[in-house]
Amino acid sequence: MDNNPIIDSRFQGPPDSGNGGYSCGLLAARITGAAKVRLHVPPPLNREMVITTADDGSVTMHDGATLVASAAPAELDLEPPAAPTLQGAIDASRGYIGFDQHIYPSCFVCGPDRKAGDGLCLFPGPAVDGDWSLLACAWQPTDDLLDESGNVREEFVWAALDCPSYFGVAGDRFKRVLLGELAARIMEPVPGADQLIIICWPLGIDGRKSYGGSAIANQQGEILAYGRGTWIELKSA
């Protein structure tokens, strides 16, 4: 693994920083089992950083003297809801609120300005019309996201769990929040050959913190990976 990663501008979230899930995944790939990653500052683009693993298994990423992110093993027990069928997930995307408005339209994961093969193009909408308690979309990973075994690389699995957890929180309107922490567990390798189903749902609010769940399922409805995003409401727009 590269201990001195550079987050290419392709993998941006906001235009001037790395996508949170992708950035978290760079650290989580060094931890066996479920992990939680906290973002301390927005991950910078196009600058070499340093990833260090401590004796206790925790991992940090620094930009010079600045702590960008920290990660540690975690216990994560979620029970994702049942995923819709692939066609149901495809149909759900028609209700994606980001088609009409988007805070970061160039986001690598959920930006509508990105095209297939460039971004992940994850556009979750309500699985049932008018019901924002479960959102879904389909995902076809492209070859450049895969390892030599044909499975999605871990940083892209984490990316695919990131923005959907936001839309689980946001529901039918955008919220001015930033990712504070992402925890995830990869149950099985995520294959890149077939279309996958992404689901997301709300997990509650505590003050300025909102929590969203997300998961990746195969077409048989088996959950391959799931996550919990902690989103922090901005004090001002």
pLDDT tens per residue across span 95-113? 999 999 999 999 999 999 9
**Rounded Cα distance, 38 and 232, in Å:** 12
- Please list, in sequence order, all residues whose beta carbon lies within 8 angstroms of the beta carbon of residue 229, skipping any fewer than 6 positions away: 161, 162, 165, 166, 168, 169, 179, 181, 182, 211, 212, 213, 214
pLDDT tens by residue, 63-90: 999 999 999 999 998 999 999 999 999 9
Tokens at 219, concatenated: 């077409």
Residue 237 pLDDT exceeds 70: no
Is residue 153 within 8 A of residue 145, CB to CB? The reply is: yes
pLDDT value of position 236:
65
Q: What would the mean pLDDT of 163-174 be, rounded to a whole number?
A: 94
Quick one: pLDDT band at residue 2, thresholds 50, 70, 90?
A: confident
Is residue 75 within 8 A of residue 34, CB to CB? The reply is: yes
Task: Break the chain into its structural domains and give their ranges.
Answer: 9-73, 86-233
**Rounded Cα distance, 44 and 28, in Å:** 18
86-233 belongs to CATH 3.10.129.10:
yes
What region does 171 belong to: left with phi over 0, alpha with psi -120 to 50, or beta? left
Is residue 106 within 8 A of residue 159, CB to CB? The reply is: no
Quick one: pLDDT band at residue 120, thresholds 50, 70, 90?
A: very high
Q: What would the mean pLDDT of 186-206 be, rounded to a whole number?
A: 97
